Amino acid sequence: MQQKVVVVGAGLCGTLLALRLAQRGFQVEVYERRADMRKTNMSAGRSINLALSDRGMRGLRLAGLESDILPLIIPMLGRKIYPREGNAQFMPYSGRDDEWINSVSRGGLNVLLLDKAEGTGKIAFYFETECLDVDFAHKSMRVRSAQTKEVRVVDADVFFGTDGAGSAIRQTMLSESARLRFNFSLQYLTTGYKELEIPAGQGRTFQLDKNALHIWPRHGFMIIALPNLDGSFTVTLFLQIAGNPGFESLRSDTEIRHFFTEYFPDLTELMPDVLADFRANPTSSLGTVKCYPWQVNGTFLLLGDAAHAIVPFYGQGMNASFEDVVVLDGLIDKFGPAWAKVFDEFQTVRKVDADAIADLAVENENEMRDATADPVFQLKRKIELQLEQNYPDYFSKYSLVTFREDITYHDAMVKGRKQDDILMAYARAAQSMENVDLKDVLQRLKALQ
Amino acid sequence: MQQKVVVVGAGLCGTLLALRLAQRGFQVEVYERRADMRKTNMSAGRSINLALSDRGMRGLRLAGLESDILPLIIPMLGRKIYPREGNAQFMPYSGRDDEWINSVSRGGLNVLLLDKAEGTGKIAFYFETECLDVDFAHKSMRVRSAQTKEVRVVDADVFFGTDGAGSAIRQTMLSESARLRFNFSLQYLTTGYKELEIPAGQGRTFQLDKNALHIWPRHGFMIIALPNLDGSFTVTLFLQIAGNPGFESLRSDTEIRHFFTEYFPDLTELMPDVLADFRANPTSSLGTVKCYPWQVNGTFLLLGDAAHAIVPFYGQGMNASFEDVVVLDGLIDKFGPAWAKVFDEFQTVRKVDADAIADLAVENENEMRDATADPVFQLKRKIELQLEQNYPDYFSKYSLVTFREDITYHDAMVKGRKQDDILMAYARAAQSMENVDLKDVLQRLKALQ
C-alpha cells in the first residue's frame, strides 16, 4: 500500500474516487486545474444542478456519505409537463412510492466530497495545477501551476484520469493513437443549451412545485427546470443552434423576448431577468465522447466523463461516473492493487455500459422534448405506472436505468427497449386507459423473457 | 483571381489540387512538412504502391495527365488467389475486357504531379515547412521551417487542408470542437500490416504474374502482392496485432520463419530477405477517420485523407482523394471562387460518399482475407463475371465502386449490397455453376430496381 496514487481532476468523480482510495489506505495526490471551489466564488462553469439517482447514491454510500447528502438534495417525484395549450400534468417517475430522483447542486456536492476527502488526512490536493500531458512509458505527467507558471514532472505508480470531457490524459492517448490503437469519437448534437433562472419567491418560497422536474416540451425544443435549496430553479433552454427558432436566430432583444412570450408565456412571467440572463450566459454545445481502450500499461486509467462524456437527457452523467467508482472499488476488492488486471477488467466490464447510457441519453432528448407532449406516449407512461403500482416485479425502461443499480445500463437498455416497443404499440392501439387490460399487457411483456 | 490560395500538404491529393487550381488561374502556395521527394531518397513512409482505378484516373484526366500516367502503371486484370491447399486461381475484376485496376508507385505518381505542378509556373512550393495550426478567425496558419526552426504566420484568402490522415488543420478543428460542433471519429482495426518484398528475378523479370493482384487468404490474415515497374512486388502482410498468430506473438527468428513457412511456403521461397524485412519494417495500424464539418467559415476546407482517411481494402484511398478534386473542380465551375458556397456544397455532396467508401473498405477486409477462399463466394464471383460478360448493363458491387466513376460511392454501395445479398443466397443454393440459370439470376437482380 506504499504506492503513490495520483488522481487528475477534483470534480465529482475524481474527488469521490480519491476519498474511496484514501479510505482503502492509499496515499493519494489530487491535481486540479481550477482553484479550490471552497475558497472562490466561481461556479465550475457547468450546469449548476444535477439529478442524483440510485446508481450515484450507491457510490456515495460506498464512501459513507449517505446521510451527509440528505440535507443537500431535493426529491423530484416525477415530471411536471407544461403543454403549449391546456393544463400542466404531473407524471411520476415510478408507480412505486420509494423511487424518485433528486436535484442536487453540483457545487454543493463537490464541496461535501472535497471536505470529506480532506478529512481523511491521506490526500494531498494541488489546486490550480493543470495536467498538461502524460508520459506513458515513464509513468509520469507534466503539470503547470497557474500561479507560478512553473511546469514540473510528477511521477507515480498509477494515475487515474478523472479530468472530465476535455481530459488531458485522454488527449495524450489520442496523440499516440496509432501506437495505442486508441479509438475515439466525439459527436455533437445540433441542439445547444443555455442556463437561465427562476428566482425564489418572497421568503425563499418555490414558485413552482418543489418536488418535480419541470418540462415545457415544444416539439423540437424545450425548457426544463430543477429546484435548488434556496427556492430558485435552474432553468435550461435546449434549442437548435442553427435553424429557426434557434440560438443563432435569436439576436435582438425583440427576437429573444418574442421567443419566450410566444412559446413560454406563463414561465416567462416567473423569469424577470430572462433577457439579461439570456445575454449574459453562454450557449453551450452537447457532445458525446466515446473512446477505447480506457487504460494504458496498467498504469493510467480514464474514468467518468474523461472516458465517457454523455448528453444530459437521462440525468445519468454523474450517476454513471459514481458507478465507475463502485465498479472499480469492487475490482480492487477482488484483485487487490494489481492494477493491470484491475484496469483491464474495468474497461472490459464497463465499456458496454458506458456506451449504453450514452446512447440512451441521446435517444432521451426526443422523449423529453417531444414525446412527453404526445398523447400516445402519455398513455404508455400511464400504463407503465399502473403496471408498476400493481405488479412490483415490473420496471419500466426509465426505472431499470434509474432505480435498479443492481442491473447494468446495458441490460436495462436491452430489456427496456423491448418493453417500450410493445407498450408503444399497445398504447397506440388502445387509445385510452379504459381500453387497457393490464393483465394482457403484462403477459405480452413477460413473453419477452 | 488575385486571391491567395494555400494548399497544405504536397502529397497526391494536395499536389493534384494545386495543379488544377493553377490551371484555373489561381496563384497557389503549397506547404509541405517533408522534404521535396524529388531531391531526397526517402520514401513517403507509406505503402509504396497503390491501386489506381477509374475515379482516380478521372482526376488525372481533369489535369491533362492521362497519357503521362501510362508509363507508370501496371494493369492488374484480376485477383490471383493462392489457397492454403490446391492450385492458384485467377479471378478477373470484371467480365468486361476494358475494366481493370492499375498498380502505381506512390512516389512515382507524386513526382509526376510535383513536376507538372511546378511546370505551371503559378505554384510556390515550401517544402520542409510544417503547418502547426491555423487561426480560423484571422485566416492564417502558423508554419515552422524544419531547417531554421523559425515559426511564421501565413495569411491567405483560402486554405485547402490536404495534409493527410494526421492533418494539422483538422487537429485545430478538433481543439475548437465545442464551438465548431466538429464531429470526429477515429477507429482502428485490430488488424495491422507490415510491408515486405518479392525482389525482381534475373533481368528484372517478374516472379509472379505481372498483371494480377496476388492474394494469399488465410482466414483471419492474408498476404497481398502488387507488381512494381522494376519487376519486384510490394508484399503486405495483414495480421492481427494481438492474438495468435499475431504481430505481437512473432518475436523470435524461429517464430517468424515458422509463421511464413507454415502458412506461405511457396511465397516464402520468393522472399529470401523476409526475416530481415520483417525485422526492419514497422508494424503499422489501420484506422478510419471520419469527421464533419469539413469546412470552416468558407475559408478552410479539408480534402482527401485529412477529411476521410480509410483502410486500404477496397484500393480506393487515393481514388477517393482524386475524386474530391474532381467534385471540387465541378463546383468551382458552377459557383466560381465563391468559396463559402463551394465549400458548403462540397461537404454536403461529398460526405455521404466518403462515409460509404470508408465503410465498404472496412467490410472488404473480410472479402479479401476470407471470402476469396470460400467456395460459395468464388461461385458468386463466377456468376457475376458471366453476368458481366453476357449482359453489358450488369455491374457487380466491385465494378460499381471501382469502374463506374459516373455513379457515387454511396449509390454504388447501396445497389451493390442488395445485389450481393441476392447473389450470395443464389450461390449458396446453386452450389455449382451448372445449376446456375443466368437469366433467372438477372431477373432477380432486376427486381431490385
Identify the pLDDT of residue A372: 86
Give the model confidence (pLDDT) of B379-392 as tens digits. Answer: 999 999 999 999 99
Residue-level pLDDT at B40: 80
Provide the number of CB pairs (under 8 Å) joining chain A to chain B: 48
Q: Please state, for a pLDDT cut of 70, what percent of chain A lies above it.
A: 98
A202-261 pLDDT per residue, tens: 999 999 999 999 999 999 999 999 999 999 999 999 999 998 999 999 999 999 999 999
Q: Would you state the pLDDT for residue A369? A: 87
> CB-based contact (8 Å) between A284 and chain B?
yes
Asked if B45 is an interface residue toward chain A (Cβ–Cβ < 8 A), one would say no
Give me the pLDDT at residue B47, please: 54
Residues found in chain B: 449
How far B169 CA lies from chain A's nearest CA (Å)? 15
How far apart are the CA of A352 and the nearest CA of chain B, in angstroms? 16
Does B184 sit within 8 Å of A183, measured CB to CB?
A: no
What residues of chain A lie within 8 A of the CB of B170, using their CB?
none
Rounded alpha-carbon distances, angstroms, from residue B33 to B40, B117, B121, B128, B161: 14, 17, 21, 5, 13
Q: Do A185 and B187 lie within an 8 Å CB cutoff? A: yes
Q: What number is the average pLDDT over the span B268-292?
A: 96
Distance CA(A257)–CA(B205), nearest Å, equals 80
Strands B213-217 and B78-81: parallel
Residues with Cβ < 8 Å from A16, sequence gap 6 or more?
Answer: A59, A60, A63, A113, A321, A322, A325
pLDDT of A73 strictly over 60: yes
Tell me how close the Cα of A182 comes to any Cα of chain B, in angstroms. Answer: 7
pLDDT above 70 for A391: yes
Q: In a mutagenesis test of the B interface, which of A167, A176, A183 is the best target, namely the one with the most B β-carbons within 10 Å? A: A183
Q: Each residue of A171-214: pLDDT tens digit?
A: 999 999 999 999 999 999 999 999 999 999 999 999 999 999 99
Q: Are A79 and A213 in contact (CB under 8 A)?
A: yes
Residue predicted with more confidence, A43 or A58: A58
pLDDT at B45 over 70: no
- Set of cell numbers at residue B6: 494555400
Q: Which of 184-243 (A) contact B at CB < 8 A?
A: 184-188, 190, 241
Percent of the residues in chain B that have a pLDDT greater than 70, as a whole number: 98
Nearest-neighbour CA in chain B from A109: distance (Å): 26
C-alpha cell at A444: 405480452
- Is A90 part of the contact surface with chain B (CB cutoff 8 Å)? no
Collect all residues of chain B within an 8 Å Cβ-Cβ radius of residue A181: 188, 190, 241, 285, 287
Confidence of residue A46 (pLDDT cuts 50, 70, 90): very low
Contact across the interface for A185 and B188, Cβ inside 8 Å = no
Residue corresponding to grid cell 434557434? A246
What's the burial of B406, exposed, middle or buried (CB within 10 Å: 0-12/13-18/19+)? exposed
Residues of chain A positioned with their CB less than 8 A from the CB of B177: 186, 188, 287
Q: Report the residue count for chain A.
A: 449
Beta bridge partners of B198: B233
Q: Is the per-residue pLDDT at A125 higher than 50?
A: yes
The answer to whether the CB of A181 falls within 8 A of the CB of B241 is: yes
In angstroms, the Cα distances linking B213 to A367, B53, B218 are 52, 13, 16
* pLDDT, average across residues B299-310: 98
> Is A111 near chain B, with CB under 8 Å?
no
Q: Does the distance separating the beta carbons of A284 and B181 come in below 8 Å?
A: no
CB–CB of B195/B234 below 8 Å?
Answer: yes
Given CB atoms, is A256 within the 8 Å cutoff of chain B?
no
Q: What confidence tens digit (pLDDT) does each residue in B98-143 have? A: 999 999 999 999 999 999 999 999 999 999 999 999 999 999 999 9
Distance CA A147, CA B318 (A): 50
Determine whether the interchain pair B190/A181 forms a contact, defined as Cβ–Cβ distance below 8 Å. yes
Distance from CA of A170 to the nearest CA of B (A): 13
B179 contacts on A by Cβ (under 8 Å): 285
- Nearest-by-Cβ selection for B178 from A177, A178, A287: A287
Contact state of A185 with B184 under an 8 Å Cβ cutoff: yes
Instruction: Flag if A190 and B181 touch (Cβ within 8 Å).
Output: yes
Of A177, A179, A186, the CB nearest to B177: A186
User: What is the pLDDT, as a whole number, of residue B46?
Assistant: 46
User: Which residues of A are less than 8 Å from B182 in CB distance?
Assistant: 186, 188
Q: Output the nine-digit C-alpha cell for B295.
A: 469546412
Helix (H, G, I), strand (E, B) or coil at B231: coil
CB-count burial class (<10 Å; 0-12, 13-18, 19+) for B16 = buried
Q: Which chain A residue has the Cα nearest residue B242?
A: A181
DSSP state letters, B68-134? TTGGGEEEE-EEEE--SSS--EEEES-SSTT--EEEEEHHHHHHHHHHHHHHTS-EEEETTEEEEEE
| Nearest-CB residue to B188 (from A181, A186, A287) | A181
Residues of A in contact with B178 (CB under 8 A): 188, 284-285, 287
pLDDT tens string B202-223: 999 999 999 999 999 999 999 9
- Residue B341, judged by CB atoms within 10 A of its CB (0-12, 13-18, 19+), counts as middle
CB–CB of B179 and A241 under 8 A? no
Query: Omega before B282 cis (within 30°)?
Result: no
- Partner residue opposite B183 with nearest CB, options A177, A182, A186: A186
- Segment B37-66 shows an average pLDDT of 85
C-alpha–C-alpha distance, residues A111 and A38, integer Å? 6
Whether B383 and B438 have beta carbons less than 8 Å apart is answered as: yes
* pLDDT tens column, B164-187: 999 999 999 999 999 999 999 999
Q: Which of B178, B185, B190 sits opposite A185 (nearest CB)?
A: B185
Please indicate whether, in this complex, the C-beta atoms of A185 and B186 are within 8 angstroms of each other.
yes
Q: Inform me whether the pLDDT recorded for A41 exceeds 70.
A: no
Task: Name the 3-class secondary structure at B223.
Answer: strand
Q: How many alpha carbons lie under 13 Å from residue A117 in its C-beta half-sphere?
A: 28
Question: Are B184 and A184 a contacting pair at CB < 8 A?
Answer: yes
- The number of beta carbons lying within 10 Å of the beta carbon of residue B71 is 9
- Secondary structure E strands in B210-264: 213-217, 222-227, 233-240
> Tens of pLDDT along A345-366?
999 999 999 999 999 999 999 8
**In this complex, which of A178, A188, A285 lies closest to B285 when CB atoms are compared?**
A178
Q: Which of A172, A175, A188 to mutate to test the interface with B (most CBs of B within 10 A)?
A: A188
Q: How far apart are CA A304 and CA A162, in angstroms?
A: 6
Give the one of A186, A190, A241 whose C-beta lies nearest to B184's C-beta. A186
Q: Is B285 on the interface with A (CB under 8 A)?
A: yes
Q: pLDDT confidence of B71, banded at 50, 70, 90?
A: very high
At B135, phi and psi to the nearest 5?
A: -120, 105
> B398 near B372, Cβ under 8 Å?
no
Query: How many percent of chain A have pLDDT more than 90?
Result: 94
Is the pLDDT at A44 greater than 80, yes or no?
no
Cβ–Cβ below 8 Å for A184 and B186? yes
Q: Which residue of A has its CA nearest to B179?
A: A285
Q: For residue A448, is pLDDT > 90?
A: no
A176 min Cα distance to partner chain B (Å): 11
Q: What is the predicted pLDDT for the residue at A1?
A: 52
pLDDT at A45 over 70: no
Contact B187 A190 (CB under 8 A): no
Partner-chain residue, chosen from A174, A183, A285, that has the shortest CB–CB distance to B187: A183
In this structure, is the dihedral angle defined by the CA atoms of residues B418, B424, B426 and B429, taken in order, positive or negative?
negative
A326 three-class SS: helix
Choose among B178, B181, B188: nearest Cβ to A183: B188
Alpha carbon B146 to chain centroid distance?
28
**A8, A159 in Cβ contact below 8 A?**
yes
A284–B178 C-beta distance less than 8 A:
yes
Burial of B148 (C-beta count, 10 Å sphere; 0-12/13-18/19+) = exposed
Average pLDDT over residues B63-89: 96
Task: Summarize pLDDT for B347-371 with one digit per residue, the tens.
Answer: 999 999 999 999 999 999 988 888 8
Q: In the predicted model, is pLDDT for residue B43 greater than 60?
A: no
Identity of the residue numbered A37: M
| Predicted local confidence at residue A40, as pLDDT | 80
Q: Which residues of A touch B188 (CB under 8 A)?
A: 177-178, 181-183
**The pLDDT value given to residue A81:** 95
Q: How far apart are alpha carbons B165 and B186 in whole angstroms?
A: 10
Task: Tell which B residues from 154 to 193 touch A, by Cβ distance under 8 Å.
Answer: 174, 177-179, 181-188, 190
CA neighbor of A233 nearest in space, from A209, A252, A251: A209
Identify all chain B residues contacting A185, using CB atoms and an 8 Å cutoff.
184-187
The bridge status of strand B27-31 relative to strand B123-126 is parallel
